[in-house]
Homo-oligomer: A and B are copies of this chain.
Amino acid sequence: MTEPAEDSAGERGQDVALAPGVAEVEDRWRRAVADLDNLRKRYARELEREREAERARAASWWLPVLDNLELALAHRKSGEDPVIEGVRAIRDQAVEVMGLLGFPRHDEAGVPFDPARHEVVSVVEDPARPPGVVVEVVRPGYGQGERQLRPAAVVVNRRQD
């Protein structure tokens, strides 16, 4: 505003090099406001993504603890020992927490093999069972689809052709 003559000249588009006109500044302003709006929307999405990522990180740190609880229980029958029963209850509780974190456990045998949630560790040939079916779950999986912590490690029945 110190040189009004030049400003108004620029505004009329006769001397744009000296100072920006109202339309140009208004355009900059509108772009900044649009950027603000986009930032807000992007942040809301990012926040949810970051929360999920942090949850997944925490779950992956706890996974070996849960796996070791499973190992301690492997090949032990129910009612064998009060200590074992206690550990079993703790394992069940840990599985529940995994579910709360968004990674429900899956360890179903007899279901069709699904490459998205199963990892084949060995193949058997059993004509008595349907081909391509999960015969045994060696290590349970957690979560599914886009929210998968780990696929289940499984033994699969060979497809007969």
Interface residues of A (CB under 8 A from B): 1, 4, 7-8, 11-13, 19-23, 25-26, 28-29, 32-33, 35-36, 39-40, 43, 46-47, 50-51, 54-55, 58-59, 61-62, 64-65, 68-69, 71-72, 81, 83-84, 86-87, 89-90, 93-94, 97, 100-101
Contact = CB atoms under 8 A, between A and B. Distances in A.
Nearest to A42: B43
A141 B22 CA distance: 63
Nearest to A4: B12
Given A11-B1, A12-B8, A58-B59, A69 B90 contact: yes
A89 B19 CA distance: 73
A52 to B, nearest CB: 9
Contacts of A83: 72, 81, 83-84, 87
**7 smallest beta-carbon distances between A and B, as pairs:** A8-B8, A58-B58, A32-B32, A29-B29, A54-B54, A25-B25, A4-B12
A30 to B, nearest CB: 9
